Amino acid sequence: MEKIIEIVLSGLSMGSIYSLLALGFVLIFKSTGVLNFAQGEFAMVGAFICYTFASLMKLPYLVAFPIAIVLGAVLGVVIYALFLRRMIGESIFSTIMLTVGLASILTSTAGLIWGHDVYLLASPFTNKVVSIRGIILSQGALYTILVSLILFIVFLRFFNHSLLGISMKGTAEDTDTAGLMGINVRMIHMIAWAIGGIVAALAGMFLAEQSFVRLEMSHVGIKAMAAAILGGMDSIAGAVLGGVIVGIVESFASSYLSGLEFANFHTGDIKEVAAFAVMILVLMIRPQGIFGKEKVERV
């Protein structure tokens, strides 16, 4: 039993990082119709910014943290203003390809600025643990789960109750009509990218807290994408749930299915594909994801 709880908790802590990133995917997709393949790279850049201020410039971690969040938002806005703004109305393939291109530019630029090594981002909770009845959880993981939970509630309230949130939902529903109703669509798009940048930066810093800061961190983006699809690309609750599912599935797969050896097949680290296998299974049953709305199409 204890082991199960431990597995679930470790899945949750990774899962909340996926959730945060998936949230970014959903927000940007919902309001601008772009699947941002560079979301993982945003997270990596966010972590590197925090590292620059906290470890290189020796600012307190709690100062560097908000700076990284603000700069994450700025990055989102800049990317939108420079590139995506011109792509409105282009096919979905083109926008996907554009963000793939952006991802590789971001990685290379980060490599030029910060180098290809592995760096330590020391935070107040590094190497500290919480122990509840023999179950050990690192403080970093605990905070990751808590902050994601809080953010999830904040976003739900934001979208259902604030004027800005409602107009974002409206823009997502129908951009043209929203424009006619007096909503500044460009502004809405920009805000969506800013929020996308913020949650990515948060995810990046939490990930750095659990591991280290390095360029390859951005690979987490693809799994978060699987999480977003799993939950349904147009649902915030879906993104969060998808992230948690992916995290927990990975955690169980890694504990029970990894490293098995059969006559001519060994499972190796099955964790890496478990998330995708689950995603395919879910899509077979619900092609629009768990919480996704089924679109009624007209000719």
Partner 1 sequence: MKTRILIGGLALLSALLFVANGAWAGQVRGVTDTEVKIACLVDLSGPGKYGGPPIADAFRTYVAWINDTGGIHGRKINLIVEDNGILPNTTMIAARKVLLKDEVFALAFNLGSAGSSAILPLCEQHQAVLMPHGANKEFFIPGNKWVFVPHTVQYSMASRAVEYILETNPKARIGMIYQDDGFGKEGLDGARAAAAYMGSQIVQVAPYRTGTIDFSSHMSAMRDAKVDWIVLWTYLPQSAAIIKQKTVMNWDVKLISNNTTGVPPLFALAGAEADGYMLVTPYAPGWMDLPGIIRIKDLTKKYGDYEKTLGNPSYPDYLYMAGWGYIEAFVQGLRMAGRDLTPESIVTGLERVRDFDMGGVSPNISFSPDSHVSSFSSLVLRANGEKGRFEIIDPIKEPKTPIQ
Partner 2 sequence: MGRKFKTSYQQDSALFQNLWVKSWLAIAIVVLCVLPFVLKPYELSIMNGIGIAVIGALGLNLLTGYTGQISLCHGALVGIGAYSTALLSANLGLHFLVSLPLSGLMAAALGLIVGVPSLRLKGLYLALGTLAFGFIFEYVILHWNLTQGEMGLAVPRIQFASFVVETERHFYFLILITAALATLAAKNIARSKIGRCFVAICDRDIAAEAMGISLTKYKIMAFGISAFYAGLAGCLLAHYQQWIVPGNFDLMLSISYIAMIIMGGLGTVLGSILGAGLITLIPHGIVYLTDAFKDVWPGLSGLIVSFKLGVFGLVIVGTLLFEPRGLFGIYQRIKVYWKTWPFKY
Where does this chain bind partner 2 (CB under 8 A)? 29, 35, 83, 86-87, 90-94, 96-98, 100-105, 107-109, 111-112, 222, 225-226, 229, 233, 264-268, 270, 272-273, 276-277, 279-280, 283-284, 287-289, 297-299
Q: What is the CA radius of gyration of the chain?
A: 19
Beta carbon nearer to partner 2, 98 or 141:
98
Q: Count of CB atoms within 10 A of residue 258's CB?
A: 15
Which entry of partner 2, partner 1, none binds 58, CB below 5 to 8 A by partner kind?
Answer: none
In the window 25-54, what residues touch partner 1 (CB under 8 A)?
none
Our finding on whether 129 is near partner 1 (CB under 8 A) is: yes
Which of 251, 275, 291, 292: binder of partner 1 (CB under 8 A)? 251
Give residue 261's Cα distance to chain centre: 33
If the CB atoms of residues 112 and 163 are measured against partner 2, the closer one turns out to be: 112
63 to 122, contacts with partner 1 by CB under 8 A? 111, 115-120
Strands 129-132, 135-138: pairing is antiparallel
8 Å CB contact between 31 and 172:
yes
114 touches which of partner 1, partner 2, none (CB within 5 to 8 A by kind)? none
Closest distance to partner 1 from the beta carbon of 141 (Å): 8
* Residue 18 in tokens: 């996926």
Q: Pick the stretch among 58-66, 165-173, 225-233, 267-275 that binds partner 1 (CB under 8 A).
A: 267-275
We find the least distance from the C-beta atom of residue 273 to partner 2, in angstroms, to be 4
Q: CB 130 → partner 2: shortest distance, Å?
A: 34
Asked whether position 259 contacts partner 1 by CB under 8 A, the answer is yes
Helix axes 2-32, 39-51, angle to 10 degrees: 110
- In whole angstroms, give the CA distance from residue 189 to residue 85: 9
For residues 201-240, which are near partner 1 according to CB under 8 A? Answer: 210-212, 214-216, 219
- Of partner 1, partner 2, none, which one does residue 216 interact with (CB within 5 to 8 Å by kind)? partner 1
Ramachandran sector of residue 289 (left: φ over 0; alpha: ψ -120 to 50; beta: rest): left
Residues 270-289 that bind partner 1 (CB under 8 A): 271-272
Report the DSSP beta bridge partners of residue 261. Answer: 266
Token readout for 20 is 């945060």
Q: Which does 277 bind (CB under 5 to 8 A by kind): partner 2, partner 1, none?
A: partner 2
User: Within a 13 Å sphere around the CA of 2, how many CA atoms are in the beta-carbon half?
Assistant: 7
Q: Which helix (H) or strand (E) holds 140?
A: helix 139-161
Q: How many CB atoms lie within 10 A of CB 297?
A: 5
DSSP-derived letter for residue 129 is: E
Residue type, 186: R
Which partner, partner 2, partner 1, none, binds residue 280 by CB below 5 to 8 Å per kind? partner 2
Q: Which residues of 13-37 are buried (b: 16+ CB within 10 A; e: fewer)?
A: bbbbbbbbbbbbbbbbbbbbbbbbb
Nearer to partner 1, 77 or 222 (CB): 222
Q: Which residues lie near partner 1 (CB under 8 A)?
A: 3, 6-7, 10, 14, 111, 115-120, 127, 129, 136, 138, 210-212, 214-216, 219, 251, 254-255, 258-259, 268-269, 271-272
